[in-house]
Amino acid sequence: MDACVGAAFPVILDQFGLSAAFFVFVFALIIAFIFAHTQIPETKGKSLEEIEHYFRSLDKSGSAA
* Per-residue pLDDT band at 60 (split at 50, 70, 90): low
| pTM for this predicted structure | 0.64
* Per-residue pLDDT tens over the stretch 7-34: 999 999 999 999 999 999 999 999 999 9
Q: Which residues contact 59 (CB under 8 A, 6 or more apart)?
A: 65
Once rounded to an integer, what is the mean pLDDT over residues 38-64?
84
Q: Which helix (H) or strand (E) holds 24?
A: helix 18-39
Instruction: Give domain limits for the chain.
Output: 2-56
Q: State the pLDDT at residue 64.
A: 62
Residue 41 per-residue DSSP state: P
CB 47 within 8 A of CB 35: no
Backbone angles phi, psi at 53, to 5 degrees: -60, -40
